[in-house]
Amino acid sequence: MVIRLGTSSVKGLTEGKDGMNMEHIEKLPLKDKRITCLDCEATFTFTLGEQRYFLSKGLSEPKRCPQCRLKRKLCLVPDREVRW
């Protein structure tokens, strides 16, 4: 089984319309991962729970820390009343 976070190709797993099947995700040998933020260059932890969530939604690995992701969202969305 080959798993590549950050790409859409995951071999050996069944993927539903919202991402991978949770049964398969929970069996993956994942562990917390340290990532350097693309914007501020701070190191942040991409936790096991976050990895499972991202995989279940078909999302790639984050490139920015949570603070820089929020700043980016606020810059991209003109209406600051938008809730996530």
Whether 60 is in a domain gets the answer yes
Question: Among 34, 44, 32, which residue's Cα sits nearest to residue 69?
Answer: 44
User: Which structural domain, as residue segments, surrounds residue 58?
Assistant: 15-76
Q: How many structural domains is the chain composed of?
A: 1
pLDDT digits (tens, 9 = 90+) for 37-67: 999 999 999 999 999 899 889 999 999 999 9
Whether 83 is in a domain gets the answer no
- Report how far residue 79's alpha carbon sits from residue 1's, in angstroms, rounded to the nearest whole number: 43
- Provide the 10 A C-beta neighbour count for residue 51: 21
Name the burial class of residue 55, with classes exposed (0-12), middle (13-18) and buried (19+) by CB atoms within 10 angstroms of its CB.
buried
User: Is this structure's pTM higher than 0.75?
Assistant: no
Whether 7 is in a domain gets the answer no
- Report how far residue 18's alpha carbon sits from residue 35's, in angstroms, rounded to the nearest whole number: 25
Whether 59 is in a domain gets the answer yes
pLDDT of residue 2: 46
Whether 8 is in a domain gets the answer no
Whether 65 is in a domain gets the answer yes
Whether 6 is in a domain gets the answer no
